[in-house]
Amino acid sequence: MTPENAPSPGAVDAAALGLVPAPRTLTAAAAGPYPLGYRTPLTAGPGTEGVARWLRATLGPPTGLPLPEGDGTGTSTGDGSGRGSTGQGIVLELDESLAPEGYRLAVEANAVRVTGGTAAGVFRGAQTLRQLLGPDAFRRAPLAPGRTWEVPPVVVEDEPRFGWRGMMLDVSRHFLPKDDVLRYLDLLAAHKLNVFHFHLTDDQGWRIEIKRYPRLTEVGSWRSRTKYGHRASELWDETPYGGFYTQDDIREIVAHAAERHIRVVPEIDIPGHSQAAISAYPELGNTDVVDTTALSVWDTWGVNPNVLAPTDDTLRFFEGVLEEVLELFPAETSPFVHMGGDECPKDQWKESPLAQARIAELGVKDEDGLQSWFIRHFDAWLTARGRRLIGWDEILEGGLAEGAAVSSWRGYGGGIAAAEAGHDVVMCPEQQVYLDHRQDGGPDEPMPIGYVRTLEDVYRFEPVPPGLSEEAARHILGTQANVWTEVMQNRARVDYQVFPRLAAFAEVAWSALPAPADRDFAAFDARMRTAHYARLDALGVDYRPPGGPYPRQQRPGILGRPLEGEPPVV
């Protein structure tokens, strides 16, 4: 190699390491690589003990290494066999000068040191350490007991672009058992995502146990059959369908998320998307215009006309629901509660004498004002209990409560309006980051929905729209990808739609990327092919292969709802 072609002393082959999401800086360490052996200790500085427990439990099974507790000065055999090395082993510590989720991972002569601004930062660094050990570190048992494990000689300095980096999972349309939810929390953590938006209620099923209202799950969690494919499909699965999470299941999910420094945002949808609740408690519906006792849990997809009645009894009912929700989702893990607010047809309210009387009594302008009354009530109710309300961008209609935040799903427009008005915003426009949308325009995509959004399309998504004022831009909390499961009957179908695109989304949310047109997708794709697909394989993720779906992943002849052309920017 000629001198002019030789790598600089600080050069690192980023593609070979395949770190996803890409760190801010990645340079060569002066020492290393650092071998991990049977006696390599793991030292947890004050405040990092939880990360050490996770790291030991995660790396122990694939490596066979116990990583015994150390004090920062421990030694091991150092016999060159890979079963020991002299020095301090893996050291976890805090440094308040770093950003809260920022970290520094440095391979030194006698230690691998992971330093974070908080325990969350240390945890993000521990995820990078796991990636540096190679794809086999993502398995559940050693492939070759006694093999040598080495941390490559690097220094990584990193911190996230956004504080809200999330994924919404809809478990109402198709239910994912508790273990699958726990697995998805692990997958989010592996990609440095930190918000899990848990869509628990909708027309097609109520998925959370509420003890004071047992019929919500006894009746509301089960439907007699299910539309197979898009709502225009003529196919049905006649198997009764349902399921729900017990309160102990919810506590376990929340604890699992907290250990991984993931916030959980529970969603209880009001005043639309409520037929499952109305089927369980018919008095919640507009009884003066429809026989709500004849309603059952909805078995198809789309926007449902059956919405909540604007009564004080309805408010008291959902206050009772939320009292139990707040106990299950403590403020430390769940400062936000999502109240839906989307796709609420106003037809029943227009026909309802009771609703019209309530409009007059409240002095609001129209039915949009009635929806705003619902949202404002629960914004005040949650605020009084130390929480914040967040809702889909329709909650802007009729006026938005002062403290409410907005999930901008119909495009950028709602988020722009909310941010310019001083409200916090999470950008999740369906045209860009709805992962139920198809990944390719070919005929083999299973139950194709929406616009084509390829891996590269997601990689070029920009959460902060151009032209936003500097003050409004500060209200962009971050971004999330949304996963609606109407045509995802099981975990494998969810995996196929979510991955590998969630890896691209995670890099958008975490990394300091240039403008969309200037992003180096080829380099990202190289990191995926070099290492990250192999990590997903080790984790058992049933992702869409780069070359297209396997035959078992296809659903030929099942009607979807594909949209052609480039998605609009609205």
Could you list the active site residues? 202, 273, 343
Closest CA to 119 of 98, 89, 90: 98
**Which tokens belong to 417?**
């309006």
Strands of 63-178 (E only): list them.
89-94, 103-107, 111-116, 149-151, 154-158, 164-170
Phi/psi at 364 (5° precision): -90, 165
Residue 387 pairs in a beta bridge with: none
According to DSSP, the β-strands at 222-223 and 241-242 are antiparallel
d(CA 110, CA 34): 8
β-pair type (449-450, 561-562): parallel
The gap from C-alpha 142 to its chain's centroid, in whole angstroms, comes to 29
Tokens linked to 361: 């009594």
Q: 250 with 208: CB under 8 angstroms?
A: yes
CA 136 and chain centroid, separation: 24
Angstrom CA distances, 529 to 19, 20, 460, stand at 11, 11, 18
From residue 559, how far is each of 231, 304, 454 by CA, in Å?
A: 9, 20, 20
Q: Among 390, 383, 476, 387, which Cα is nearest to 426's?
A: 476
CA 291 centroid distance within chain: 38
Cis peptide leading into 21, omega within 30 of 0?
yes
Q: How far is CA 122 from CA 100, 117, 157, 504, in A?
A: 9, 7, 12, 22
Whole-angstrom Cα distance, residue 318 to residue 336? 16
What value, to the nearest 5°, has the Cα angle with vertex 122 and ends 119 and 128? 150
Nearest residue to 340 (alpha-carbon basis) of 484, 189, 519, 199: 199
Collapsing DSSP states into helix, strand and coil, what is residue 323?
Answer: helix
The answer, yes or no, to whether the previous bond of 33 is cis (omega within 30 of 0) is yes
Q: Are 235 and 301 in contact (CB under 8 A)?
A: no
Q: List the beta strands (DSSP E) in 128-235.
A: 149-151, 154-158, 164-170, 195-199, 201-202, 205-206, 222-223, 226-227
